[in-house]
Chains A and B, each alone.
Chain A
Amino acid sequence: MIENYILMHKGGQDEYRDNVFVNYSSALTLAILYFPTEADFSVADEASVSALVQSSSKMRFTDLSESITPILTNLKNYMLIRIDDKHINIERHGKVFAYIVQNGELKMLPNGMSSLEDGDRVICCTGEFMKRLNEVAVLSDAVVSDSAEEWMDNLVCRISDKNRLGEGNLTAVTMIVRSGD
């Protein structure tokens, strides 16, 4: 099981433009779209991405990636994630990031598949979310938190200390592998 918590906060903007599409099945599939400026924003693309992610349960990750790429051809910043108890598969484009806590360090996850173990903590987030954080802060909040929600709450407090949540949209997903559950 992948315990997860998704933050979708409009920040100081009039509306929330980024988006996160989720498919909860035996594996968790996510698409995170990040629009740092209004010019990047495209509503039309989102409906297609949503439909594709919703129907992706039985699709291989590479097939999902190949299907989604033509839809998001004009989008500079997005990430596809599929995660289960054993593996995480990532495809990231532009200023979206994925990190894992391993051996007391926060390491950036590369594109492709990586192995996971029980208790591993993973965060996927936009550049706007990471702008006010550093790796030490993300690591520390990860290792003291009992849940994915608490980890996110602690990170939001740090961002709030810097900007009162008054800047861009904030989008992130915190995940904890719970193999025993």
Chain B
Amino acid sequence: MQTSFADLPTLQSAVYPALVLFALTAIVFTWFTVVYIKRKGFGNPDDSDLYIDCAYFMEIGKRPSQQDSVFISNLSDYKRYGITALVADGMGGMEYGGEISEKVAKFVEQMCPLSFFATEQNSDELRRYSNELYDEYKLSGGSTLAMVHIAGNYMNYYSVGDSDIILVREGVPTILNPRQNYMALLIKSLCRNNKQTVSAYNNPKSRALIDFMGNQNPRVIYTKKPIRIFDGDKIIVSSDGLTDAVSLRNMPHYFRDGASATALELKRAVASRKRPKQDNYTGIVFTIKRSPF
């Protein structure tokens, strides 16, 4: 069939709506890719934006000086880089514990913004810095490191030593990071021999750290894949001054809706214990909530 000149008006009337439809589709597509994704970020279709609330406390306890250090990255950068938070606990009884924990916090500040997907490289950087500390202090001091990096609906963590990273889900607190102390080695050995582990807990040296910042080539524990976080979760990064005073079992009594209220309650809980040798105690509290917008 041939198209005659007489058919042109009919053709034009069909083409114009198609062009308009195409233009509208192009506009919507451009808006989605440029505006929506930029604002909301990439993610699974079922992902919904979470927002976080953060608060911290840092107390000296009964110690003569503060040897804990904290670092929290700028909340205003959260959408772009996520948030990084660190607690470094200077090792008590060592001359330069406080100084080293401060240096670790400053080093992490310099590392920021961290790449969320380069956990291996980030852990290499931390290990390299530990080697620098080793060269400078020759084991006359050390510090733990407990650090979380939260971005979108996921969290990575890094840990050296025995400070705590606690995830509270459905009201139940769980310490995430394995402790790098002598007790872990004793338990492993007893388990291999099909024995019970009571003796490991009775060993007076069981809490001695086998890895810390300031040691040569420490093992930096880090998440190879990020952990999903959900609406209602809480994340607490703390020195052992908190968890020694308030057990995990008792901790839920002090959880409140907001991060500030929870931090305040936990701080009061430690103080109320009136422990005569209370260590420095530090905690950073995050509460995760679904965005109302």
Contact = CB atoms under 8 A, between A and B. Distances in A.
Interface of A: 7, 9-12, 16, 101, 103-105, 119, 134, 136-137, 139-141, 143-144, 153-154, 156-157, 160, 164-166
Nearest to B183: A157
Interface string B154-172: 1001010000000101001
A143 B225 contact: yes
Contact of A136 (B154, B169, B183, B195): B169
Given A9-B194, A137-B174, A144-B223, A157 B187 contact: yes
B80 interface: no
A35 B177 CA distance: 32
Contacts of A105: 228
A140 B198 contact: no
Interface of B: 44, 154, 157, 159, 167, 169, 172, 174, 176-179, 183-184, 187-188, 190-191, 194-198, 200-201, 221-228
Given A160-B197, A164-B198, A165-B196, A144 B177 contact: yes
Contact of A165 (B172, B197, B225, B226): B197
Contacts of A140: 167, 174, 176-177, 227
A144 B221 contact: yes
B191 A160 contact: yes
Contact of B194 (A10, A154, A157): A10
A164 B197 contact: yes
B228 A103 contact: yes
Contact of A144 (B191, B196, B222, B228): B222
Contact of A104 (B157, B195, B197, B226): B226
A157 B175 CA distance: 12
Contact of B178 (A103, A104, A144, A160): A144
Contact of B228 (A9, A16, A104): A104
A156 B188 contact: yes
Contacts of B154: 104
B187 A12 contact: no
A157 B184 contact: yes
Contacts of A103: 44, 228
Given A9-B191, A134-B174, A157-B184, A143 B197 contact: no
Given A134-B172, A140-B177, 16 more contacts: A9-B191, A11-B196, A105-B228, A139-B227, A140-B167, A140-B174, A144-B178, A144-B224, A153-B188, A153-B191, A154-B178, A157-B179, A160-B187, A160-B200, A164-B198, A165-B195
